[in-house]
Structure 1
């Protein structure tokens, strides 16, 4: 039998330190194991007493720990926390949104998945901010919990600068050219329209340059990017103004002077080509071409008639 203490004789240790042995040959347990053995001996002898209901509480704690461990393995911890805190009166009952103009409160509720039973305690604020920040118009967002059942959402929204047409699609863009969202209705119809590849990134600088010619800019229906290098202006009466790649200011001064002196943009023309520095080309509409041809034929006919008349008078 192992001795708990070597009272009957001196203990000696082997040089390797593996075990302690009394002089009478009885082995002595290491010190940590002696305490464990003494505890179980006292427990078996009845010298140790536990408070009442210790066994019941221990069983409950054991089963609770087992249940939590199982929920953790099954991924149901969040659901349990939400259900328990909701039942305790922490259900989200109110969402206060500020700073929103284009983002509706209903969209925010749907984005967060709030259904009236979501617990404020179980709501992950960082995840809520991330979800709201993914919404098209949101530039910045803060989310706060106000117990027992309110969320405060403060938004900073992006500003629409213009409409970008790429192919058959229409999108709202910022000044930087970043796309905000597809154009869904006529709410933003007053914004300038930019058409073509790369038009969205060059739009703001080009549009600002036209502030020097407000009368003409107000008549532009669309700014069309051509080959990623230059612009055409499509006016409200369908006239196309072709601008050069460089020195747009010179071309616009020529157009402005022609408009003020001859009301060029109110005439029956299809296009004005300002790409060449030494000349301006005006293209007539098909109807104007037809009318011009008729007028030229009528003039030629009249001239021939006058010439014939003069010849007759000369013979007389």
Structure 2
């Protein structure tokens, strides 16, 4: 069997297109000759019905898009009006280019399923509905992904929706106010934690990044650099306790590096290196002072 190639396919297509052009011219002549008939409304209806029936049969018969389009044009079935709605992030020009990329120029040859699949493959599009209105109008209704967070994946940043599906790479400037999530499993689990943090709004407003650890629990990095290490279970209860301590004692405004809430019976606070050095120096000075007192006042 001889393999097919683009050249042989084009050679076979040329006679079909020539036949379509000849038939198109005959249809145009028929329409012109019928122009003098009485009852123009029924005359036009008959042409549309008969022509549309034939074209539909050709489409079902597997004729090429170009062949069907060539026949459909004299009947007024070329796509002249395209209405697009629901596109906030997807440009209308890109949508039209994608539609034309299906190869259809007429309503008869346009396959709504193929057009929908092509448009739903666009980055921002979650769902699309394609409706044909004869003789010449197409309506495209979109539902787009809603940006929810910026996911740091290694050295890359990607915008994801609430369900954790990737949308587009993040570029500085736009969507900079979205929460930043980090780590494996973060896109899938982030919405649950962020929603629950409605009960600690003051603390939530100070979070710079939500870090998923071993896909089991969360660390929160605050704007001032403090890290809050949360337990696997009941993390929001731990955050409520931290918010209370901060409100009463100014915990998070102190010179600390982290607050570890993972243990049930204690809170572990780690100082910053500078604060630790000052604390050690103060302890050494206190120890020296006690030694001097013992020396000056022996028992």
Count of paired positions: 244
Structure 2 unaligned segments of length 5 or more: list them: 1-13, 20-57
Which residue number in structure 2 is paired with residue 102 of structure 1?
89
Match of 2:163 among 167, 176, 184: 176
Which residue number in structure 2 is paired with residue 26 of structure 1?
none
Shift of 1:298: 4.2
CA distance in 2, matches of 1:167, 1:296: 41
CA distance in 1, matches of 2:114, 2:150: 32
Alignment of 1:24-103 (within 5 A): 67-68=15-16, 77-83=64-70, 85=72, 91-103=78-90
The 1:88–1:117 alpha-carbon spacing in structure 2 relative to 1, beyond 3 Å, is: farther
Match of 2:110 among 111, 115, 123: 123
**SS of aligned partner of 2:88:** coil
Please say if 1:161 is aligned against 2:148.
Answer: yes
| Stretch of structure 1 that moved more, 82-91 or 227-236 | 82-91
Shift of 1:174: 2.4
Shift of 1:98: 0.8
Which residue number in structure 1 is paired with residue 266 of structure 2?
279
Q: 1:78-101 CA deviation, whole Å, 9 max, x = no partner?
A: 223335555876554443211111
Shift of 1:228: 1.1
Shift of 1:266: 0.9
CA RMSD, Structure 1 to Structure 2 (Å) = 3.2
CA distance in 2, matches of 1:116, 1:273: 60
Shift of 1:116: 11
Please say if 1:245 is aligned against 2:210.
Answer: no
Higher relative contact order (CA 8 A, sep 6+): 2
Instruction: Give yes or no for contact 2:16–2:67 (8 Å, CA) kept in 1.
Output: no
The 1:299–1:68 alpha-carbon spacing in structure 2 relative to 1, beyond 3 Å, is: same
Which residue number in structure 2 is paired with residue 135 of structure 1?
122
Shift of 1:179: 2.3
Please say if 1:260 is aligned against 2:242.
Answer: no
Which residue number in structure 2 is paired with residue 236 of structure 1?
223
Instruction: Give yes or no for contact 1:163–1:193 (8 Å, CA) kept in 2.
Output: yes
Which residue number in structure 2 is paired with residue 111 of structure 1?
98
Larger of the two Rg values belongs to structure: 1
Instruction: Give yes or no for contact 1:91–1:117 (8 Å, CA) kept in 2.
Output: no
Q: 1:257-298 CA deviation, whole Å, 9 max, x = no partner?
A: 210111111111111111111111111111222233333444
More helix by percentage: 2
Match of 2:194 among 190, 204, 207: 207
**SS of aligned partner of 1:259:** helix
Please say if 1:226 is aligned against 2:213.
Answer: yes
Structure 1 unaligned segments of length 5 or more: list them: 1-65
CA distance in 2, matches of 1:131, 1:117: 13
Q: 1:16-53 CA deviation, whole Å, 9 max, x = no partner?
A: xxxxxxxxxxxxxxxxxxxxxxxxxxxxxxxxxxxxxx
**SS of aligned partner of 1:187:** coil
Shift of 1:256: 1.8
CA distance in 2, matches of 1:108, 1:280: 55
| Stretch of structure 1 that moved more, 234-243 or 100-109 | 100-109
Q: Provide the TM-score with structure 1 as the length reference.
A: 0.66
The 1:184–1:93 alpha-carbon spacing in structure 2 relative to 1, beyond 3 Å, is: farther
Which residue number in structure 2 is paired with residue 63 of structure 1?
none
Shift of 1:221: 0.7
**SS of aligned partner of 1:101:** coil
| Stretch of structure 1 that moved more, 281-290 or 149-158 | 149-158
The 1:117–1:206 alpha-carbon spacing in structure 2 relative to 1, beyond 3 Å, is: closer
